[in-house]
Structure formats: C-alpha cells, structure tokens
Amino acid sequence: MKTIKGPAIFLAQFMGPEVPFNSLAGLAGWAAELGYKAIQLPCDPRLFDLEIAAGSQGYCDDVAGTLAAHGLQVSELSTHLQGQLVAVHPAYDTLFDGFAPAHLRGDPGRRREWAAGQLHKAAIASRRLGLKAHATFSGALAWPYLYPWPQRPAGLVEEAFAELGRRWLPILDAFDEQGVDVCYELHPGEDLHGGTSFERFLESVCGHRRANILYDPSHFVLQQLDYLDFIDIYHERIKAFHVKDAEFRPNGRQGVYGGYSSWQDRAGRFRSLGDGQIDFGAIFSKLAQYDFDGWAVLEWECCLKHPEAGAREGAQFIGKHIIPVAQRAFDDFAGSGANLEQIRGLMGFATTE
C-alpha cells in the first residue's frame, strides 16, 4: 500500500493584494509556516505564468527553487478558470468573459481557442515541473438543461457531450504526450458533476486514459451523492484530491437547490475542515486501501470562518488524517509457515507430484 502525501494547500482562495498573499514567495513562506508540504498552484500570471513556463525550463526550475527554499513543492498546477472556458453555454458568456483576457471578451470563439491553448501549455509546464496530475474544470454546454423541464429535446444531452468530447480530446492527447493526467473537479455548474456525467464524458473521449477525477467530497454532500461509494466505484480514475468540508441541513423551506439563498443561508454550504459533516476518517481509509498516493490538498471555502484560521486548522487536520500505511500484515507474527503441499493437505486435496 501507499501513503497519501500531504498536507498541501490550493492557493487560489488566498491570493490578495496584501503581503504575504501578493507573491508566490510570500505565499510559500506563509504556507510553510503553517505546516504545509506542497501547494496546488493556479495558473494565474500573478503567481505562475503559463506563457513563460511552457517555453522555459529555467522559469519552471526557478519556481520550483522558490518553493524548495521553503521546504515546499508543487502538488499540481490548476487551470480551473481556463478549463471552464473550453465549453461555455451562451447563457453564461457574459459572466465567464471575466475569466479571459480583456481583448478576447465578447468573442466566444477566440476565447475558447485561447483556453484550449492554455491547457496545452499547462501540459508542457506540468511535465517541466515533474508533475503527474493536473487540476481543472470541464466547462459546461448542457448545464442550463440539468432539470428536464421544459422537456429536453431528444438527443440534446448526447450532442452536448459529443461536442464536449470533441473539444477535450485534443487536449487530453496533449497531456498524454507529456505523461500527465487531467483531473476534472466534478462540480455543480460543470457538465462533469457526478459519476453518471463523468461516465458520459468518458464514452465521448473513448475512455481516454488521461481523463481522470479530482475527488472533492464537498460537492457530493451538496448533491446528496454517496461520496464513499463513489471512491469504491471510481478509485481507478481518482488522481487528485481536494480536502474540503461541507454540510447539508434541509428544512421545510429549501433543499438541494437552495432557493437562491446566499451561501450563509443555504441548506447545503461549504465549511472549514472539521466544521462540516464529512467523514474524512472513512475517506482517507478508502483512499489508502486503494493505493492513492497523490496529495491531500486543502481547498478552503467557508462562508463563516476566517480564511487564515481555516488554513491554519486545515494543515493540522489533514496531517492527523493521513494514514502511514502498514508494510506488513498485523498478524504476521502468527504465521504458520505452511508450504503448498501442507496447505493442500489441510483442505484434503491430493498432494502434488
């Protein structure tokens, strides 16, 4: 068995204009002081410039050196925002334009080409950094039609996933050339948001070996999906892990859909680690059972607790849940040492020649 690596922390929610949150070196020093061993690095020019990284091993070495000076490494690169722009339904064009450079806004076609190019560069940068996995979103073409009212035209979902597959297949091939897995965070708002939708996508990309999963149980709690059974079903495709807590407390006024309430008032909401309902002891046990040897990465999103408190507590929480796996069976001391002939004799089988 293999031991999960960690704790690591996703930096996206902690970037800001103030020191130490306004630079990679500052964030690295802050994270190291809290006890983190790695960072999941968003491909945001403020921290990591994909344009430079794809063409310069020296730049990637410098980034790695900046982190190593603080005892850190990169767990994965993240292109969540760029991945979102690979597939955008027209209903969301205006809102998602903010994820793209200003000169591409209002031009969905060029915006999508830019996003796909960013993913290709992320594949190269990941290889330059010696990484095995990459975190991203799938984007969504069918999301406005999630609930079948009005009745969906026959073939709509099938065509949406066929197109999603056409857009992602060249990207997956690019990651395959670099030896890196693409790990989709299954997330509401994405066409890949649960097991069934992931299976649809997998069919559309012919079971591509680089199409894998970033496992985040918080999104499953909010959907009321069995997050432990999910590991049993999809463990072979789980290549990245966000450690994020959540709670779901429905009442007579709202349930899964939330009634357009704010995050504080929703029945389902994200919480800092240890403040929600997720059984992380069982999750870490299952991942250890299935030999997951990636990073346990804190993604902090909580509408109540201060982010710095969440980050400080998160490092300790993850550290306590990582299971140093056994290298031998606990009852080896009582082994009988029986050979094959003795074993067959115990069961009444004929002895071997």
Given a cut of 60, whether residue 222 has pLDDT beyond it is yes
Question: In total, how many domains does the chain have?
Answer: 1
Q: Encoding tokens for residue 264?
A: 């504080």
Give residue 63's pLDDT. Answer: 98
What is the SS3 assignment for 12-73? HHHCCCCCCCCCHHHHHHHHHHHCCCEEEEECCCCCCCHHHHCCCHHHHHHHHHHHHCCCCE
Nearest to 315 by CA among 338, 293, 335, 295: 295
Cα distance between residue 139 and residue 88, in whole Å: 6
Residue 13 lies in a domain: yes
Would strands 38-42 and 5-10 be described as parallel, antiparallel, or unpaired? Answer: parallel
Given a cut of 70, whether residue 351 has pLDDT beyond it is no
Cα distance between residue 217 and residue 224, in whole Å: 10
Query: pLDDT tens digits for 145-188?
Result: 999 999 999 999 999 999 999 999 999 999 999 999 999 999 99
Residue 353 lies in a domain: no
The CATH number given to whatever domain includes residue 273 is 3.20.20.150
Q: At what angle do helices 280-289 and 307-321 cross, to 10 degrees?
A: 50
Query: pLDDT tens digits for 74-97?
Result: 999 999 999 999 999 999 999 999
Residue 352 lies in a domain: no
Tell me the residue range of the domain where 109 lies.
Answer: 5-346
Residue type at 347 in one-letter notation: M
Query: pLDDT tens digits for 259-272?
Result: 999 999 999 999 99
Query: pLDDT tens digits for 185-212?
Result: 999 999 999 999 999 999 999 999 999 9
Residue 351 lies in a domain: no
The pLDDT confidence band at residue 335, using thresholds 50, 70 and 90, is confident
Say if CB 219 and CB 188 are below 8 A apart: yes
Given a cut of 70, whether residue 352 has pLDDT beyond it is no
Residue that the structure tokens 């109540």 belong to:
304
Query: Model-level pTM?
Result: 0.95
Cα distance between residue 297 and residue 10, in whole Å: 6
